Amino acid sequence: MTDELGKSIFERSHCPIACALDYLGDKWSLLIIRDLLLGKKRYQEIMASPERIATNILADRLKKLEAAGLVIQQAYQQKPVRYEYILTKKGEDLRPVLEALVKWGKAYFPGTTVFKSHE
Partner DNA sequence: AAAGTAACTTGCACTATACAAGCTATTATT
Partner DNA sequence: AATAATAGCTTGTATAGTGCAAGTTACTTT
User: Would you tell me which residues interact with DNA (CB under 7 A)?
Assistant: 26-28, 42-44, 52-57, 59-60, 62, 79-80, 82-84
At position 51, the amino acid (one-letter code) is E
Q: Between 44 and 96, whose beta carbon lies closer to DNA?
A: 44
Contact present, 34 and 53 (Cβ < 8 Å): no
**CB proximity list for 75: less than 8 A, separation 6 or greater:** 81, 82, 83, 84
- The DSSP output letter for 82 is E
Number of residues that bind its own copies (CB under 8 A): 48
Contact call for residue 115 and its own copies (CB under 8 A): yes
Please pick, from the candidates 5, 20, 43, 82, the single residue that binds its own copies as defined by CB under 8 A.
20
3-state secondary structure of 75: strand
Query: Which residues are near its own copies by CB under 8 A?
Result: 1, 9-10, 12-22, 25-28, 30-31, 34, 49-52, 90, 93-94, 96-115
